[in-house]
Amino acid sequence: MEQVTDDTLAAARKVIAVHINYPSRAAQRGRTPAQPSYFLKPSSSLSLTGSAVERPSGCELLGFEGEVALIIGKPARRVGIDDAWSHVEWVTASNDLGVYDLRHADKGSNLRSKGGDGFTPVGPGLIPADAVDPAGLRIRTWHNGDLVQDDTTEDLLFPFARLVADLSQLLTLEEGDIILTGTPAGASVAKPGDVVEVEVATTAAGNTGPGLTSGRLITRVEEGSTPFADFGAQPKTDDLQREEAYGSREAAGLPAENAAPVSALSPELKAKLESVCTATLSSQLRKRGLNNVSIDGLTATRPDRRVVGLARTLRYVPNREDLFKTHGGGFNAQKRAIDSVNEGEILVMEARGEKGTGTIGDILALRAQVRGAAAIITDGGVRDFSAVAAMDMPTYYSNPHPAVLGRRHIPWDTDITIACGGTTVQPGDIIVADSDGILVIPPALAEEVANESIIQEREESFIAEMVERGHSVDGLYPLGAAWRAKYEEWEAGKAND
């Protein structure tokens, strides 16, 4: 296998790095980009395996990030996604090093924080790009012998071919240029005396022959001894930078933050809403001028269930083949929504009432159930219907349909205001569903509506009891003055039981 040499490094006129590309890293950062974004590292930051890198004097947080590096083999200018991978000649390991102490000075460019000499080691071996499946690579990083990063390229937010094609739209990728393709979760901080190793290898299905590997890229960390000059920005850090450098407050040795704000759906409010039916809630919402708050026309896989939860939203747009290429594959908006739904939340999908495609199938529905979702609601179709219907988690749907997304839909965006079943749903709205239907309740009204619904159902229990005894509904339903006095006596007697 060919090796990365000084000539390899000299041939790189540009080193381009992607900010966030692995779902695990996006989850750790708490943000998932809709499009890739990039920064440049100087070619003088490149180094070979076995090299030492300085943690600059006065700095605390030298971060390491194991990454897959792509080396361009032939110029790429305005290439398409289908052709982009043919412009990559080699794949190898890289370590995107940087000092968080200088992030404040860069205004987003990362030049000083990530551009230091030796801050981009690559190698040691070169894997031929035409011998691998770009979605079949494994990236691993060891810190002082401990495996701290281990992920694959199967579900990247932005597949490698898309990165190459995207970059080529505005600039020419030249032979020898290097693209760093993002790091998974597990990146952390190295201190003087530490050793960081990174390896890229093919997975079982990721190559056309025997398993291929870059070998381990080894970098040793040393303490810098030359202080920064006083005419430039000085290192400084805070707990936010420590948290981001180490990956979490716990890993950084920081105390836990204050408890998160109380959810709009407290356990007490949830219990109240679960105790009343949607028919009652609907009448209370109508009294407050809200008539268009029902998601209509759907069927439930578990009509016996009453479900209450906070809305998470997902929007599909009509399929357009060129846009499906950029938004339909990989870790798209549909998969991001499923993979980020939390315990007790309800994923609501806008599919425009289009019944000619499944918007959820058994695997993704199972993933939502495993994550604790209370339900899935879609005004489109459901694939693998028998399996979805057999799940404990309810799904509300228009109809079964065997077709996949690409027939009619593109998964476009998450956690935005959507339309579903004829009404508007916003992230954080409270959803209540039972055998009568599905309601969307504005959080600001939920407590009041729940309390009044409980009172209304107590009154209706009294009315039903009186009707069973043979009384006319005249003056009873709704309660007139005389019957209300009798109701209050009935209620007082119940309280004393």
Q: Could you tell me if residue 263 is inside a domain? A: no
Residue finishing a domain among 413, 441, 469 = 441
Type of residue numbered 329: G
Residues 433 and 302 occupy one common structural domain: yes
Question: Tens of pLDDT along 329-338?
Answer: 888 889 999 9
Listed residue (348, 401, 402) closest to 375, CA to CA: 348
Residues 96 and 134 occupy one common structural domain: yes
d(CA 253, CA 40): 31
Mean pLDDT of 285-302: 94
d(CA 373, CA 274): 16
Residues 417 and 298 occupy one common structural domain: yes
Lowest mean pLDDT among 207-221, 245-259, 344-358, 439-453: 245-259
Q: Could you tell me if residue 268 is inside a domain? A: no
d(CA 335, CA 474): 55
* Mean pLDDT, the chain, whole residue set: 92
Band (pLDDT 50/70/90 cuts) for residue 405 is confident
Give residue 497's pLDDT: 59
Residue finishing a domain among 441, 457, 482 = 441
Q: Could you tell me if residue 287 is inside a domain? A: no
Band (pLDDT 50/70/90 cuts) for residue 260 is very low
pTM above 0.85, yes or no: no
What tokens were used for 55?
């943690």
- Long-range Cβ pairs for the range 5-11 (8 Å, 24+): 5/48, 6/48, 8/71, 8/122, 8/123, 8/126, 8/176, 9/43, 9/46, 9/47, 9/48, 9/122, 11/175, 11/176
Q: Could you tell me if residue 251 is inside a domain? A: no
Residues 432 and 461 occupy one common structural domain: no
Residues 208 and 298 occupy one common structural domain: no
Q: Could you tell me if residue 160 is inside a domain? A: yes
Q: Could you tell me if residue 375 is inside a domain? A: yes
At 316, which CATH number?
3.50.30.40
**Sign of the alpha-carbon torsion through 348, 349, 354, 357:** negative
Type of residue numbered 399: N
Q: Could you tell me if residue 273 is inside a domain? A: no
At 136, which CATH number?
3.90.850.10
Give residue 18's pLDDT: 96
DSSP-derived pairing of the beta strands 98-99 and 346-350: unpaired
User: Taking a C-beta distance cutoff of 8 angstroms, is the pair 188, 148 a contact?
Assistant: yes
Residues 82 and 141 occupy one common structural domain: yes
Residues 205 and 327 occupy one common structural domain: no
Question: Tens of pLDDT along 181-231?
Answer: 999 999 999 999 999 999 999 987 555 556 899 999 999 999 998 988 888
Q: Could you tell me if residue 74 is inside a domain? A: yes
**Residue-number span of the structural domain to which 168 is assigned:** 6-246
Type of residue numbered 225: S
DSSP string, 108-128: T--HHHH-STT-EEEEEEEEE
Residues 114 and 23 occupy one common structural domain: yes
Domain count, the chain: 3
Residues 207 and 329 occupy one common structural domain: no
Residues 33 and 155 occupy one common structural domain: yes
Distances (CA, A) of 178 to 92, 225, 276, 495: 10, 30, 61, 76
d(CA 492, CA 497): 9
Residues 435 and 453 occupy one common structural domain: no
Residues 405 and 424 occupy one common structural domain: yes
Phi, psi of 396 (to 5 degrees): -110, 130
